[in-house]
Amino acid sequence: MRPVRSSLLFLSLLLSLNTAVASEPASTKRFGDYVIHYSPFNSTFVTPQVAKSYALTRDKRTGLVNIAVHYKGKPVKADIKGEAVNLLQQKEALTFRLIDEGEAVYYLAPFRFINEELLRFTVTVTPEQEDGGPMTVRFSRTFYEG
């Protein structure tokens, strides 16, 4: 039963991101053989069933950052730290939670925002593999209550 539920979460996240954020697709950053995929989005894009299954908060003022790390095309686990900063330089530490579905490994971190708020994210990724040093990704996004 677990693999089906996991696959449903992954598919739900992908579908919701593709339809709800069509003008802002998930982004990637390359570091040699490593690729970091990142996507911040409003938590209301996750279906109620998936949110309940994974104890995710769905709220019009809560967002999620999704981070996935690949090495030579395969998902890898990593230590991920990050923060979100608004235009007033108020910082919120991001606490990432591992979602391991075997074929898909990614991390989710919730954050709070107010309507029409621009947030700048800094995420540092350190893969568990010995040759993967810290890699930093910076991106920004404006969030709207949904």
Which alpha helices (DSSP H) does the chain contain, by range?
Answer: 2-20, 48-53
Task: Report pTM.
Answer: 0.81
**Residue keyed to tokens 């990637």:** 28
- Render pLDDT for 13-65 as a digit per residue (tens, 0 to 9): 544 444 344 433 459 999 999 999 999 999 999 999 989 988 999 999 999 99
CATH code of 2-143, in short, is: 2.60.40.3340
* Per-residue confidence band for 129, with pLDDT thresholds at 50, 70 and 90: confident
What mean pLDDT comes out for the span 114-139? 92
Per-residue b or e along 112-138, where b marks 16 or more CB atoms closer than 10 Å to that residue's CB: ebeeebebebbbebebeeeebeebebe
